[in-house]
A and B are shown apart, each in its own frame.
Chain A
């Protein structure tokens, strides 16, 4: 028999029987499974359930679409001319979002789009019940992504302002 260098192992095969005692003990312990359709699990407030879109903040800059590892964000937009802010001023341009879709059948919930958005247009929401019978229904459009915005929890309060340095 090969002798183990580990001094903790006193008897050969003792680990096998320790394992058996362990599994036997666990057979009688209550099971921590949540019976999902009957019992709903409440996710933590900052769980990564679904991504919500604040349309007004989006400038269709495409950063999220470019950074997405799965390329599951589709954005189309165009520029519209706005009246000048002062009479006689220059005609301003504003970008308008035509299409913003996230394909949740591809999304891997990495959150890079939320991180990378420079205008705070994307947020995590803890909602998770949006499975569907058809893959096409997992592509959430602009309106559906905006609806998720109501479920976004309040961001944690800022830390109290430190004392001004003397």
Chain B
């Protein structure tokens, strides 16, 4: 409760999450333009905004919005129009439970991790709706590929999150962060370690791969592969709805990075900082960790080629799921028997 009135609180929280998310998404778009450009030996945006092209994402957004909002003739109009909002809303909903500091969290649900997985899977529904309702073969193929890919990679994602939940002993995200902040005895020293170092390295790698696949970004961007499917399920979208998908992709990138940072890198917690300092520095620490994760995603995007569709399914079903199952087994064994 911030203001005392329930509805005023709700509106305040929604506005804060929206503004913070969209700002971070725009920063992520700008970072992608610049980082990818320099990795590819280019300059990237240079003139927009006067210096370093900082206004390029804003200019892009204005350009997209100016276009005509088209609905194809054979399209299923209500579904077609609703799809982008479902994608964006499901992404924004993940930020309800992500803690930015010990008390800066929209709602600390007891089933936080479960809520995260459930809500982020809704994106698949939006993508399928877009692909199915567009009345376009490219869109349909893109939607089918997206469905197959998202279902395949949802499993290792869930299994790695379950591994973390087993080790932490709670599904509340604040509880998970506190479990990482709690000191452990190693070689006689009492130190705090994030789950990444406390035995979750395999989970972290699988989570990274699966989350990049969930976001359908290169090297897992088969659903929107330009050279084969034009733009996949995005083919028929224009104007504001395309902008929603576009922003939704980058917002999803940030929310996935935030989840990874919270589950494996300690969230708002940082070593050698007292609890009072974490209240104020927590948001910046979490944003810093998000930035590291986002940079990693941009890095692999500008480096690796796209996987073929069968290789993609191969990787998920034959490698990631068995490994993550074995990993879950090992972590459960250590949790129950050793500690």
Contact = CB atoms under 8 A, between A and B. Distances in A.
B304 interface: yes
Contacts of A19: 303-304
A32 B303 contact: no
Interface string B41-53: 1110010000000
B300 A29 contact: no
A16 B304 contact: yes
A12 to B, nearest CB: 11
A28 B299 CA distance: 13
Contacts of A32: 41
Q: Is the interface of A mostly helix, strand, loop or mixed?
A: helix
B33 interface: no
B67 interface: no
B38 A26 contact: yes
A165 interface: no
Nearest to A29: B41
Contacts of B40: 23, 26
Contacts of B35: 27
Contacts, number: 32
B197 interface: no
A18 B300 CA distance: 12
B118 interface: no
Contacts of B304: 16, 19
Contacts of B303: 16, 19-20, 22-23
Interface in A14-41: 16, 19-20, 22-24, 26-29, 31-33, 35
A20 B296 CA distance: 10
A20 B300 contact: yes
B39 interface: yes
A78 B304 CA distance: 63
B312 to A, nearest CB: 15
B243 interface: no
A23 B39 CA distance: 5
Contacts of A16: 303-304
A13 to B, nearest CB: 10
Contacts of B46: 35
A31 B300 CA distance: 20
B302 interface: yes
Contacts of A20: 299-300, 303
Contacts of A31: 38, 41-43
A24 B38 contact: no
Nearest to B35: A27
The residue among B35, B39, B304 with the most chain A CB atoms within 10 A of its own CB is B39
Contacts of B39: 23-24, 26-27
B302 A33 contact: no
Interface string B29-40: 000000100111
B30 to A, nearest CB: 15
Contact of B302 (A23, A29, A35): A23
A19 B300 CA distance: 9
B299 to A, nearest CB: 6
B76 to A, nearest CB: 41
21 contacts: A16-B303, A16-B304, A19-B303, A19-B304, A20-B299, A20-B303, A23-B40, A23-B299, A24-B39, A26-B40, A26-B41, A27-B35, A27-B38, A28-B38, A29-B41, A31-B38, A31-B41, A31-B43, A33-B42, A33-B43, A35-B46
Interface of B: 35, 38-43, 46, 299-300, 302-304
Given A26-B40, A27-B35, 5 more contacts: A19-B303, A26-B39, A27-B38, A27-B39, A32-B41
Interface of A: 16, 19-20, 22-24, 26-29, 31-33, 35
